[in-house]
Structure 1
């Protein structure tokens, strides 16, 4: 049987039509630090599967409260691994579906070039009035920031200068707007693929805080939506992992 370009094109159109016919939408709650990477992953996911994503971004702690209150999210991409586990224990998520999708990286960052040195010595020099962090009680990046300050022995000295945001996104905004001269944010917020780095930053050594394992889980509302399971599978694919590399996340161990 001879295969022509026309027959290949026809076959592709049939496959595309079949995928479109079975396409579905997934409601996804995404940790604030992963907003930009998720936008790129969403495009690749839709191109590969035909499924679309309805993405909401915010703090993991806030999403937990919303899910408990009945929010119709089908997949959670958290900024930690404890929240998905808690939801599974409470019967609000599918335990077997939980998996780490990214390893977060913490940086001390300022929009001002030269303010933050490559060793983080600015924390001891005190050449600033305010330092922004995410709420350490609800935001994993905030908890990692406090662990870093304690490990360096400067937590008590800097306590009066701390400006606390609801999420890592708000902590970042405090620095961008100048309400804080510097702050602890996610590396992905200041490392945009294809663009030169802005301001000044110190990448916090991983041994100064607990690993920021960011886990995804299938919520009960998405248990019967095949597109939700497809998204979780896609997060483990090479196209998604390449996005992690581009934004400075660590790849999860396999």
Structure 2
């Protein structure tokens, strides 16, 4: 009787475990500047494929450390290609991945802010000189690529030495954008993609910063060693014309296109 019961139970458990495995979402890690664009793209992919994605956003450097320490991500979209290349050198990826976009920086404030925004940061310089600037947001340059680019911009403008005591560092560029657009700070330097979203665009003032003021924000994605078929499908989906158009709409420049 016990033998017969076990013969019946074993296939049922196999079906149950298979169903659970199929229901588990594929884990994607993405740079924080992709929050709005990937929310749109992942929803579209899930509707078309029937597969489920679990997207975790953060600073690219912090995500890289998590992957090195064994985090079970299957696809990584970095805001700085260097992190992907380091993971590839360490043997943690399928290959070196592909460039998927080049990002841009902006200075941004809430709509009613007194700080004047302009591409050459003259308004920021004037506010700093007059003592009117109290708090200014950037991402933490220790592990956020957009934070490092913001530092380069401020140094190029000759403001770095004077503005350091005013800086409020976001854990990633998305948090810095929240500080800069909510009124928690007088403004900030963040990713263009985070102010181009429908939720934000009409509530802020912003100006794009010249690309010549900082290192290129080349963004690369890669499949990790344990990538499943859903991760591979999403990786391919992100390179298709429809997805590229959505990236473009959020202010990214696509591979093969002029800046």
Bigger-Rg structure (1/2): 2
1:233 matched to 2:236: yes
What are the superposed Cα offsets for residues 155-182 of structure 1, whole Å, 9 maximum, x if unpaired? 1121211111211012112223433111
Equivalent pair of 2:108/2:117 in contact (CA under 8 Å): no
State the 1:202 CA deviation.
Answer: 1.6
Q: TM-score, normalised by structure 1?
A: 0.84
1:123 matched to 2:128: no
Once residues 116 and 30 of structure 2 are traced to their aligned partners in structure 1, the CA distance between those partners, rounded to angstroms, is 29
1:135 matched to 2:136: no
**Alignment partner, residue 4 of structure 2:** none
State the 1:78 CA deviation.
Answer: 0.9
Say what the alpha-carbon RMSD is for the aligned residues: 2.0
State the 1:32 CA deviation.
Answer: 0.9
**Alignment partner, residue 249 of structure 2:** 246
Equivalent pair of 2:138/2:147 in contact (CA under 8 Å): yes
**Runs of 5+ unmatched residues, structure 1:** 1-21
Equivalent pair of 1:115/1:200 in contact (CA under 8 Å): no
What are the superposed Cα offsets for residues 54-104 of structure 1, whole Å, 9 maximum, x if unpaired? 1111111111121112111000011110111111111111224x1111211
Once residues 195 and 176 of structure 1 are traced to their aligned partners in structure 2, the CA distance between those partners, rounded to angstroms, is 8
What are the superposed Cα offsets for residues 9-56 of structure 1, whole Å, 9 maximum, x if unpaired? xxxxxxxxxxxxx99842100111101100111122223333221111
Which residue among 159, 173, 178 is the counterpart of 1:173?
178
**Runs of 5+ unmatched residues, structure 2:** 1-21
State the 1:253 CA deviation.
Answer: 2.1
How many residues get paired?
A: 230
1:133 counterpart SS class: strand
1:28 counterpart SS class: strand
Equivalent pair of 1:23/1:50 in contact (CA under 8 Å): no
